[in-house]
Structure 1
Amino acid sequence: MKCTVAELIFDYLEQQGIDHIFGVPGLVLEPFLAACRKKGTITPILAKHEEGAAFMADGYARVKGLPGVCFATSGPGVTNLISGVAGASLDGIPLLVFSGQIPTFTNRKGTLQDSTGVGIDSVKIFETICKSSMVLSSPHAAEYDLRSSYIHAMTGRKGPVHLSLPKDILMETIEISIIEEPFTPPVAEYFDRKRVIEATRELCIAEKPAMLVGSGAVASGASQEIVELAEMFRIPVATTPKAKGAFPEDHPLALGVLGLGGSPLAECYIKSSEIDVLLVVGSSLNQISTFSWDPAILPSKTLININIDPTIININYTADIPLIGDAQTVISEISFRALRYLDEQEEMIEKRYADFQREKQHQNMVVDPEKMMSDQVPIKPQRLIFDLQNGLPKDAILFSDVGSHLLWALHYLKMTRPGQFIAPFGLLTMGFGTAAPIGGKLAAPDRPVVAIVGDGCFGMNGMEIATAVNYNLPIVWIVMNNSMLGLIHAFQSLSLGEDTILTRFRRIDFAKLAGSLGAVGITITEPGELARLLPEAIASGKPTVFDCLIDPDEKPPITSFATGARDYAARTLH
C-alpha cells in the first residue's frame, strides 16, 4: 500500500484507537494536518497555547488509557510544549509528541524557526524529558520509528516520546505494511516467588500491619485486589496523594491520604511507631507522601515494597523485602498464599479490626470538620469542598489544578474510585486544570467532567475555556477565588507573617470572563449554592465556570508537610 509518511502516521494512530489529537498549527506542519483532514478519522483540536495542548493530551491519556497526542510547530511551538510534556513524564503518562521541522534541504541555513540545532535542537530538548526523542530522518524508516516510539511510550513505566517531523519527509510517498491489530502492551506478570512467600508470611503474622497504596497500583489496575487483601486481614490502608481514591475513602479500613494535604488519621496511624509491617504498593515514597522522608514512616520490623520499576524501589527507603513486578499480579499472589494463614490468625485479625475502629473514634480524617458546615460569608473553602462533594455525581471525573485548592480537595473530598481524581503531582504545574479536562472529556464523553482550579491557575491557561466552547464540550470548572496565590501565600506566611511577597492581586471576575469566551459564568457567594447548581450545570450540556468567592483568611492544611520539610532540613544540614 502506498501513502505519504504523514498519512502513515494517521493510519497508525487510527489503528491504535486514538480519535483526537491536540495542538497549534504552523507552516512546517501543513502536510501533517493535510493528512489528518484527508483521512478524516481523527479529530484535531485547536488549543489556544501549546502548553494547553500538552495538558489536553495528558488528560486524554489518563482517562482513555491510550497515549495522548499533541503537536506543535518548530521553534516556539516546541518550547511552549515543554512544561506539559515534562509533567506527563514525571507522572508516567504516555504521550506521542509530534513537532514540526523545517525541510531537510534547508537544515543549518538559518531558516525561520529552525529546530535542527542552528536555532534550537528540538530532539535534544525533548531527550531530557521523554523516554525517547528522534527525528524522522528517512521515509523508509518512518514506519519502524513510529511503531517503536509508540511501543516505548506504552511499555514498562509509561511516558512521553517525541518525533520531529521534517516537512519534506512528511510529503514523501512510501510503500507500507498495515498493522491490522492495535498494539497491546505485554503484561508484566513476573514476580519473585521466594520473596512473595516471605512477604506474605510477614504480612499475615504481623501484629499491626498497614498498607500504603501509590499511583502504580492504579496504573496496574490493582485496586480491587488491594481491597480484597485488606478486607481478608483487616489491614488499614492509606493512599499517596497521587493515588487518592485508589482505596475507597469511605471504606471502614480507609485511613485517607498520607502526606501533602493528607489525613490526620493516616499520619497518626502510619507514624505511630506501632506499625510492625508496612506494605507499600506502587509508590516511590517521595517527598509529598512521606512528609519529606520522615523516618517515622518506617515500620518497626518489615518494609515490603512492590514496584514495577527496579530503579526506584529502594531510592528513598530501603525495603526489607523488595518485590519487583506488576502490582496486580503480586497482590493477587500474596492473597492466594495468605489464605493458609486465615484460620490461625482469625482471633488476631478481629482484635486488630476492633482496635482500629476505636482509634478512628479518637482521630478524625480531617481538621476543623465544623468548618465544612459553616454558613459564613465569604464561603469557607472547607464548606465549598463539602458542597462540591454533595453536588458531584458518583461517576464524575474530577481534575484538580495545583495550589491551595488541591490541598483543600485532597483533605476534605472523599474519592471512592481509582483514577477518579486527577492532578499533575509529578511537576505540580499550574494551569493543568483548565486544559487537561478538555482531553479527559473527549476521552470519556459519557461521564461528567469537573475541574477545581485556583484563580492564579485560571490566569495561566484560562483561555482554553474558549477551546471547550469551540468544540461544545460540557465541562464544569470551579474556580476558588480568593485573589491570591493561596498555596505560596500560605507557605510564605509561615516565615513572613501576612507580609507576603507577590502573592496577592486584584479580584478577577471569572464569571464575566467565562461569558466573554462563550461559556456560562456563574458567581457563587453563598454556602450551599454550588451543591444546588452543580448538577444543573452538568445537566445543561454547556461549558460552565463557577466563580466561587472564598474566605482569603483560611490557610490550607500544610502544617504537617511544612513541619516535615523543616525537620528534614534540620536532619540533613546539622
Structure 2
Amino acid sequence: MISNRTVSTTQGNVPQSQWEAGDLLVAYLAQLSVDYVFGVPGGAIEPLYNALARSARKGGPRAIVARHETGAAFMADGYGRRTGKLAVCCATTGPGATNLITGIASAYENRIPMLVITAQTALSQFGRGAFQDSSCTGIDTVNLFQHCTRYSTLVSHVAQLEHKLSTAIMTAYQSPNGPTHLSIPLDILRSTASVKTPSYQLAALLHRPALLADGEVKSLCSHIVQARKAVFVVGEDCREAIGAILNLASLIQAEVVTTPHGKGLVSLYHPLFRGVIGFAGHRSASETLSDPEVDTVVVFGANLGEWASNGWDTEALLNDRLIHVENVEGNLTRTPMARLHVRGTISTICERVLSYLRQHPPAKEEPALGIERRQPDSPLREVLRHEPKWRFQLDEEAKYYDDSTPIKPQRLMRELTRLFPPNTRFLADTGNSIAWAIHYLHPSGQSDRNGEPFRGCLEFASMGWAIGAAVGSALGAPGNPVVCITGDGSWLMSGQEITVASQEQLPVIFIILNDAALGMVKHGQRLAQAEAIGFELPAINYCAYGEAMGVPSYIIRSPQDLMALDVKAICERQGPTLLDVRVDPEEVPPMKTRMKILGGLQ
C-alpha cells in the first residue's frame, strides 16, 4: 500500500504530511492487488499519472499507455478476464473520455467488473467554455456514461472521493457485474486527500459467501432424479463450478454442450461433450438438444441471448424442459418459460445436488459410452483424454485437413492448436474470426486460475476487442503465450496497439486473417442475396506493417508456411509476433444462425 511521502506535482512540492487524492485512489487499487491502470494521459488527468509514477517506483500499480482510449478499455477488459482482478482504465477529459465509450459498453454487455476514471475540467471552470469541457455545461460525460455503466458520478469535493470510489468498486462487483465510472475534476485530483490511509478494507467487503436457495435446490434434485435423459448446457459463469458440473454430468450420464461464451470450459476429449450450441456451433450439439428422448435441459450460468440460445430457439432450448441454474439474477429474465429457476452460487448448488444423488442414486442404467463405470464418490477423470476422435461434429470436416493454397481458415484453426503449447490462450475478434474460432478452434489447454483457453467478445461484439484484450491478457499472466486471431478489418481499426505489446515485451502472437475484405459483411451479403457493397479493403502487406514497427512478421499462404514457423522461439520471444495469413477469401464462415436472425435466410 502507498504510504504518506513527499510528492512532486506540476504545482510544486507537497508537504510530507499531505496525501493527494490521486495517491488515495491508487492506494485502494493496491489494496485490491491491481497491477495496471490502462489509459492515455492528458493534462486534466496528469495528477493521477503522477500518483501512478510514485506508485510504480514503490512496486505498486503502474500505468500502461495505450494508443487509443478504446484500446485501453479493451486491455483492461482482457486483464480483468485473465486475472479475476478489477479492470481499471482512465482517460482525460473531453474526447479522451468519449473515446472510452465503445470499450466500456463492451464491458457492460459482457459483465466485466471495471473501474473507469475520467478527468474533468476544474470545477471553477465549469460553464466558461474551458478546453475539452465535458462537465454538465459541456459534453456531459457523466450522463453519457450512465447508459453503459452500473454507476456514473461526478466527484465534486475531495471529501466525496473515498466514499464514491468505494461505492464504484463495490458496485462493479454487484450482480450483474459491470463497469462503473468516476468523473474527477482536475482541482479535486490535485487536492489534499481528506484521509492519510484508506478507511475501508474493500477486499473483505467484496468477499461473496456461497449462497443458495435450499428449496429450489431440493426441487432441482427431484427433477434430476426423475429425468429420463438430461442435457447440461454450460455457460460463461461456470468457471469455478465446472468440476462439480462435470462430476454431476458423469454421475447421471448427462450429455454436455457449451454456449459460445462457455467454450473452452469443457475438454473437447470429454466423453460426454457434444460441442457448442448457438452461433457458429456444432450440428451434434443441436441434435443433442433436439433429441425427443431428452426431457430435462439444465442450463448453468448462461446469458441466453441471441448467441447462446441458437437464435432464441424455442424447439431445442427455450421451452418447458428447461431448468436454469444461475448466480446472475438478470440472466433468469431470459427464461420465463423454464420449469424451474435455481438461484445461488453454482458450485455450491452442484455440490449439494451431488451429495444428494450419491445418497439417492437415480434408478436407471448408465448408457454404454465406452468408458469405465465410476463409483458415485470417484473424482471425475477424463479417461479418454488422449483419444483422437471427438464426440461432436464439424461442418465441412474435410477442409480441416485441406492442404491447398491459399490456406483454408478451417485448416488454420486446426494447426494453431497443434502448433502452440497447451498454456496458450486464444482470443478471437468479432467478424469471421470469431465464427471460425468457435466452430473449428479447439485448444487442448484447460481452464485454470489464469482463465479459459479461449475467449471471444460476444454480445456487444466490438471489432478490435481481441487486439487490446490480448495485451491485457498477456500482462495478467506473464510467461504464457497469447494468440490474438483478428481480421484485416479489425486490424485497420486497432492494430496500432501492437506497439504496446512491443513496448511491454509481451509474447503476443497477432494473427491477421487477410482476405482484403470485411469478410462477415461480404459473406452476409452473398448469403442474403443483397447488394455487394462496402466490404472491400485494399490489399495490404501486414508483414511489412509489422516490420515497420519493429515486430518480427511472417506471411502465411499455405499450411506448409505455417508449420515451417519456429513456434517455440516465437513463444519464448520477449515481444510480439505478427502473422499475415492470406486465407482463402471464398470460404464461407459458419454464420447461418446469424443470417436467419437478420432475415437473410429462410
Smaller-chain TM-score bracket: over 0.9
SS at match of 1:290: coil
Which residue is equivalent to 2:446? 417
Amino acid at match of 1:5: A
SS at match of 2:72: helix
Cα drift, residue 98 of structure 1: 0.6
- Aligned with 1:429 (options 462, 469, 475): 462
Amino acid at match of 2:175: G
Q: What CA deviation, in whole Å up to 9, does each residue of 1:332-386 have, x standing for no partner? A: 21111121332633x1x235889xx9xx999852011111111100001111111
CA distance in 2, matches of 1:484, 1:235: 42
SS at match of 2:73: helix
Cα drift, residue 156 of structure 1: 2.4
Which residue is equivalent to 2:88? 69
Aligned: 1:83 with 2:115: no
The 5 Å alignment of 1:105-144 reads: 105-144=124-163
Shift in CA distance, 392/317, structure 1 to aligned 2, threshold 3 Å = farther
SS at match of 2:571: helix
SS at match of 2:330: coil
- Aligned with 2:69 (options 45, 50, 54): 50
Which residue is equivalent to 1:178? 198
The answer to whether the Cα contact below 8 Å between 1:28 and 1:73 also exists between their aligned partners in 2 is yes
Which residue is equivalent to 2:420? 392
Which residue is equivalent to 1:491? 524
The answer to whether the Cα contact below 8 Å between 1:400 and 1:406 also exists between their aligned partners in 2 is yes
SS at match of 1:529: helix
Amino acid at match of 2:34: I
TM-score, normalising length: structure 1: 0.93
Which stretch of structure 1 is more off in the superposition, 531-540 or 280-289? 531-540
Q: What CA deviation, in whole Å up to 9, does each residue of 1:269-322 have, x standing for no partner? A: 112333200000011211112222111124876311011232331324521110
The 5 Å alignment of 1:292-441 reads: 292-298=311-317, 302-342=321-361, 344-345=363-364, 347=365, 349-350=366-367, 364-415=392-443, 416-418=445-447, 419-441=452-474
CA distance in 2, matches of 1:442, 1:183: 22
Which residue is equivalent to 2:35? 19
Q: What CA deviation, in whole Å up to 9, does each residue of 1:49-85 have, x standing for no partner? A: 0000010010110011111111111110111000000
Shift in CA distance, 223/260, structure 1 to aligned 2, threshold 3 Å = same
Which residue is equivalent to 1:526? 558
Shift in CA distance, 85/195, structure 1 to aligned 2, threshold 3 Å = same
Which residue is equivalent to 2:497? 464
Which residue is equivalent to 1:480? 513
Listed as ranges, the gaps of 5+ residues in structure 1 are none
TM-score, normalising length: structure 2: 0.89
CA distance in 2, matches of 1:437, 1:428: 15
Cα drift, residue 227 of structure 1: 1.3
Aligned: 1:211 with 2:216: no
SS at match of 2:555: strand
Amino acid at match of 1:253: L
CA distance in 1, matches of 2:492, 2:402: 28
Cα drift, residue 517 of structure 1: 1.3
More helix by share: 1
Cα drift, residue 249 of structure 1: 1.9
SS at match of 1:39: helix
Amino acid at match of 2:591: I
Cα drift, residue 492 of structure 1: 1.2
Q: What CA deviation, in whole Å up to 9, does each residue of 1:442-471 have, x standing for no partner? A: 111121111111111111100111111122
CA distance in 2, matches of 1:363, 1:313: 30
Amino acid at match of 1:269: T
Cα RMSD for the two superposed structures: 2.2
Amino acid at match of 2:41: P
CA distance in 2, matches of 1:317, 1:528: 51
Which residue is equivalent to 1:508? 540
CA distance in 2, matches of 1:515, 1:6: 39
SS at match of 2:540: coil
The 5 Å alignment of 1:241-256 reads: 241-256=260-275
Shift in CA distance, 232/564, structure 1 to aligned 2, threshold 3 Å = farther
Shift in CA distance, 241/369, structure 1 to aligned 2, threshold 3 Å = same
Amino acid at match of 1:242: H
CA distance in 1, matches of 2:228, 2:597: 27
CA distance in 2, matches of 1:361, 1:508: 39
Amino acid at match of 1:376: S
Q: What CA deviation, in whole Å up to 9, does each residue of 1:87-134 have, x standing for no partner? A: 001111011111011110111111111111222111111111111011
- Aligned with 1:34 (options 45, 50, 61): 50
- Aligned with 2:252 (options 213, 228, 233): 233
Which stretch of structure 1 is more off in the superposition, 167-176 or 250-259? 167-176
Shift in CA distance, 178/505, structure 1 to aligned 2, threshold 3 Å = closer
CA distance in 2, matches of 1:188, 1:561: 39
CA distance in 1, matches of 2:20, 2:573: 43
Which residue is equivalent to 1:549? 582
Cα drift, residue 250 of structure 1: 1.8
CA distance in 1, matches of 2:244, 2:392: 27
Amino acid at match of 1:239: T
- Aligned with 2:285 (options 255, 266, 277): 266
- Aligned with 1:5 (options 5, 11, 21): 21
Which residue is equivalent to 2:488? 455
SS at match of 1:430: coil
Q: What CA deviation, in whole Å up to 9, does each residue of 1:206-249 have, x standing for no partner? A: 1221011111212xx11111111111111111111011112222
CA distance in 1, matches of 2:170, 2:479: 29
The answer to whether the Cα contact below 8 Å between 1:511 and 1:545 also exists between their aligned partners in 2 is yes
CA distance in 2, matches of 1:507, 1:392: 28
Shift in CA distance, 494/343, structure 1 to aligned 2, threshold 3 Å = closer
What is the number of residues matched between the two proteins? 560
SS at match of 1:165: strand
CA distance in 2, matches of 1:179, 1:126: 27
Shift in CA distance, 361/295, structure 1 to aligned 2, threshold 3 Å = farther
Which residue is equivalent to 2:211? 190
CA distance in 1, matches of 2:86, 2:397: 40
Aligned: 1:150 with 2:166: no
Which residue is equivalent to 1:201? 222
CA distance in 2, matches of 1:49, 1:228: 45
The answer to whether the Cα contact below 8 Å between 1:275 and 1:299 also exists between their aligned partners in 2 is no
The answer to whether the Cα contact below 8 Å between 1:441 and 1:449 also exists between their aligned partners in 2 is yes
Amino acid at match of 1:377: T
The answer to whether the Cα contact below 8 Å between 2:104 and 2:148 also exists between their aligned partners in 1 is yes
CA distance in 1, matches of 2:108, 2:177: 8
The 5 Å alignment of 1:154-173 reads: 154-173=173-192
Which stretch of structure 1 is more off in the superposition, 552-561 or 18-27? 552-561
SS at match of 1:199: helix
Q: What CA deviation, in whole Å up to 9, does each residue of 1:154-200 have, x standing for no partner? A: 23222111001101011111342435855142325222222211212
Shift in CA distance, 283/411, structure 1 to aligned 2, threshold 3 Å = same
The answer to whether the Cα contact below 8 Å between 2:249 and 2:256 also exists between their aligned partners in 1 is yes
The answer to whether the Cα contact below 8 Å between 1:278 and 1:299 also exists between their aligned partners in 2 is no
Which stretch of structure 1 is more off in the superposition, 82-91 or 183-192? 183-192
Which residue is equivalent to 2:475? 442
The answer to whether the Cα contact below 8 Å between 2:268 and 2:390 also exists between their aligned partners in 1 is no
